[in-house]
Chain A
Amino acid sequence: MTQVERQAWDVVVVGAGGAGLRAAIAAREQGMRTAVICKSLFGKAHTVMAEGGIAASMGNVNEGDNWQVHFRDTMRGGKFLNHWRMAELHAREAPDRVWELETWGALFDRTADGRISQRNFGGHEYPRLAHVGDRTGLELIRTLQQKIVSLQQEDEREFGDHEARLKVFQECTVTRVLKEAGPAGGDGARVAGVFGYERESGRFFVIEAPSVVLATGGIGKSFKVTSNSWEYTGDGHALALLAGAPLINMEFVQFHPTGMVWPPSVKGILVTESVRGDGGVLRNSEGKRFMFDYIPEVFKDKYALTEEEGDRWYEDPDNNRRPPELLPRDEVARAINAEVKAGRGSPHGGVFLDVSTRMPAETIKRRLPSMHHQFKELADVDITAEPMEVGPTCHYVMGGVEVDPDTAAATGVPGLFAAGEVAGGMHGSNRLGGNSLSDLLVFGRRAGLYAARHAADVGADRPVVAAADAAAAEAEALRPFSAEEASAGPAGGPVENPYTLHQELQQAMNDLVGIIRRHEEMAEALHRLAGLRARARRAGVEGHRQFNPGWHLALDLRNMLLVSECVARAALERTESRGGHTRDDHPAMDRAWRTVNLQCRLATEEAQAAEPVGGAANGPVGVGDTGLAGGAASGAEPVAEPGLGGLVSDQSGQIALARKATPPIRPDLLQLFERDELVKYLTDEELSR
């Protein structure tokens, strides 16, 4: 390991998006020496692409808003699968996190009386999204970036070194979280640092630190049609799994209803929800505003039933109900899917989204400047004069690292924290628009704070990286350069092109574990994933380690395959439809499933070898239903007690699933809802508690 550079810091933050930067600021403000690592240049993380806004119940536009209302909307949006405590903290703290940005120089759009303006968004009862035109993410990332620079300027004044206590290692990829040499199998062993490579030079490095915060974002690059960039290969999800921490809710993937569908090269690129929040409407090829036909039972009394009422709502929200174009994303995405399937789609397989007949051209250009620009430049469409064509695109993963709500600590790995899109639980089965940016700030700050405290508590008793682990991480990273060996070995076969493998993976996930899911297809997906995993061991690259994208992709494949398996396995297991998980063969939401979180862990060798547990109904994948004995569909309580879930890993997989009971919602929070509403979501047992 002579060539590996080693450095020691107190807190390492993996990721420089909103969550990572906010965590780094918090850790540094606690006096901890903090290193941030990111794959792209500083300031380019995915957060930069967020458009619509950041949700916080400041009540600047409608005084009726407060954290309780925000909490309620968030729980409804997530179909009550959210971790209630995360939803509570998020709703309570979001306004402070937004106001704080102003003190760091952010310039949000204003109301007439000079406060931060707030806009309407799907699922939010009041205008709640603070925004800057449709480039809110850029404002967020730039503000955090500039705050970091200002902290560095402080250090320069104090220590003569900008990077004395806060350094950004840009264009570096972390491939392993390292732990101390622990007792048998490393269970309970503490985090000791990270292993990674510089993208530019290909050089390896180890950063030792007692606290590691994962803030790596999402997983969209496992799907063919996505609004996500190359960075979204599920690295943090995989790093957590490999370090022994479980993921939850991985079956819930949000398909944003409105992605571009034409031309093919931009398919999937996001069309912000603000288009609808500001008055845009969805029409099918017959010119009909079809969303009125898709208002689900649970939302019937909350949405306008006529176009006239919906239109009046924009001006007079207190006396009218909102138009159904603003239903939560999962509902709108499914509706678009159904219209296209029924043959009422647009020429390129989407539906029409129109603002041109709803607002004057000047207003459109002012309120939606980057959408105007995007369509003009990329599709030759002038949205002030003609409708856009849009269709669903893979956008966000609700699932992620299971964390303690207050401290953002991952389960079972001391020193590991997670925040932002990589963390699970906050959004339940479906995230509301605008709730991610606020999530990043609320839980990014908490993760940084508690990571700093953990590092302080560890003090001089710093965990030491197990030398063998660092060596193994290096060997793993180098494998794609010696694919010939794997190819000639016992599990041999031709050397594989990582680009080809990636395309096949994306196609499989898109077709088989996409927006509408079926048992047989998901079983087929697991089968294909197993095949791809075997081939990925022979993924080979040419050239050298300097800025070599083929090599980078070959390494990312490990992560995408792990995460894809989590999604497919959990989706196969959950025999109901809820939020971002829609089953053709189980189309209804089942209250019994509300009490169940599916937890994914890396299958240990013993678990992989063991027979699947869980009773007769747990047949091997591909036969019958993998649901529990009795089946959730019959209304039986799926889990008797927390932790009693059976392992349902199949032998060819790397992931073991377990059922975990969701924590009971605190009574005072339940009282924020009418009983009539709760009966739609909660089991009788929960209601009688």
Chain B
Amino acid sequence: MSYQAHFKVWRGDAEGGGLRDFTVEVNEGEVVLDIIHRLQATQAPDLAVRWNCKAGKCGSCSAEINGRPRLLCMTRMSVFEESETITVTPMRAFPVMRDLVTDVSFNYAKAREIPAFVPPAELGPGEYRMAQQDVERSQEFRKCIECFLCQDTCHVVRDFEENKAAFAGPRFLMRVAELDMHPLDAADEAGIDRKRTAQEEHGLGYCNITKCCTEVCPEGIRITDNALIPLKERAVDRKYDPLVWLGNKIRRRGQ
């Protein structure tokens, strides 16, 4: 049942580091995070790793396993051959702090750049009425656990550090889409044009719909198909047709 596995784990900090070899016990049903914890408890007490829920709900334990962005707690050891060497490295798109822990402050900075939900002035607390089918689109995006694996994988920032300033990344473009599809968001009334800002301020144009983000999302959110492409379409409409904007506004009022 249990066996000895070979691991290579990146150790180091901002100054530099490298892969370290470990041989470590693996038992039935374990996930990669269990093995990292076993290393901490037995061989490397100061090995740094983030985690919280151990059930794929908090998005803390993001790293790259054999080069692929994944949650450590949701990657079962049984998907690997017993003879395979398993390489665990920190997310590549963000600066390393120590070992498997990266500085993800980029994401928190981007989150602040997106104007918040604007409550409709005419409705008080308890008066909101929305149909299930109308909230479902935004609800899909609100499943996001902010693991930032999509941000890590998107080539726009993964390969081009300099794009970071102009590009919010799939997670936060999706946030714009979520607010834009919220049935009661009153951004228009507040003079906020979410579609235009997606294009002009958050770098929607950089996305060339490769769907890499969707592929790594542990929540199975269809980021590209359901958020980014519709947002692009809406942004294009908006750009060329000012009447669409007026029409949307009138329709919302009439709801």
Partner-B contacts on A (CB < 8 A) = 40-44, 46, 48-49, 58, 95-96, 99-100, 102-105, 107, 109-110, 113-115, 117, 132-133, 135, 137-139, 142, 146-147, 149-150, 152-153, 156, 162, 200, 229-231, 262-266, 269-270, 370, 373-374, 377-379, 497, 499, 541-544, 546-551
Contacts and interface: CB of A to CB of B under 8 A. Distances in A.
Contacts of A100: 125
A542 B45 contact: yes
Contact of B74 (A117, A146, A377): A377
Contact of A546 (B40, B98, B129): B98
Contacts of B248: none
Contacts of B115: 153
B115 to A, nearest CB: 7
B55 A541 contact: no
Contacts of B132: 109-110, 117
B56 A373 contact: yes
Contacts of A132: 139, 142
Nearest to B26: A265
18 contacts: A40-B60, A42-B108, A43-B146, A48-B57, A96-B125, A102-B128, A105-B116, A107-B138, A132-B142, A135-B57, A146-B117, A147-B116, A200-B98, A262-B29, A265-B27, A379-B29, A499-B40, A547-B97
B145 A138 contact: yes
Contacts of A156: 112
B86 to A, nearest CB: 16
A550 B31 contact: no
A230 B51 contact: yes
A6 B34 CA distance: 38
Contacts of A541: 45-46
A82 B45 CA distance: 42
A543 B146 CA distance: 31
Nearest to B111: A149
A138 B57 contact: yes
B28 interface: yes
A542 B40 CA distance: 12
B28 to A, nearest CB: 6
B31 A264 contact: no
A153 B97 contact: no
Counting contact residues on chain B (CB < 8 A from A), the size range is 35 or more
Nearest to B101: A547
A547 B58 CA distance: 20
Contact of B76 (A41, A264, A377, A551): A377
Given A107-B139, A107-B182, A231-B52, A265 B34 contact: yes
Given A264-B27, A549-B40, A152 B59 contact: no
A550 B46 contact: yes
In the complex, the 10 A-B pairs of residues with the closest C-beta atoms, listed nearest first: A263-B29, A105-B117, A150-B116, A114-B129, A550-B45, A543-B46, A99-B125, A547-B48, A99-B126, A110-B132
Interface string B162-175: 00000000000000
Contacts of B135: 107, 109-110
A160 to B, nearest CB: 13
Contacts of B138: 107
A263 B145 contact: no
B50 interface: yes
Contacts of A95: 126
A146 B146 CA distance: 13
A378 B76 contact: yes
A109 B111 CA distance: 24
A374 B27 contact: no
B126 to A, nearest CB: 4
Contact of A102 (B46, B51, B54, B125): B125
Interface in B34-70: 34, 40-41, 45-60
Contacts of A544: 46
Given A105-B182, A149-B116, A547 B99 contact: yes
B55 A548 contact: no
Nearest to B148: A41
B212 interface: no
Given A43-B146, A110-B131, A115-B129, A104 B60 contact: no
A667 to B, nearest CB: 31
Contacts of A41: 50, 60, 104
Contacts of A374: 55-56
B30 interface: yes
Given A230-B51, A547-B101, 15 more contacts: A40-B52, A48-B53, A103-B128, A113-B129, A138-B142, A142-B144, A152-B112, A153-B116, A229-B51, A229-B58, A231-B52, A373-B56, A546-B13, A547-B46, A548-B45
Contacts of A138: 57, 142-143, 145
B99 A44 contact: no
Nearest to A545: B46
A58 B126 CA distance: 9
Given A543-B45, A549-B48, A153 B29 contact: no
Contact of B97 (A49, A135, A200, A264): A200
B62 to A, nearest CB: 11
Nearest to A163: B112
A378 B104 CA distance: 27
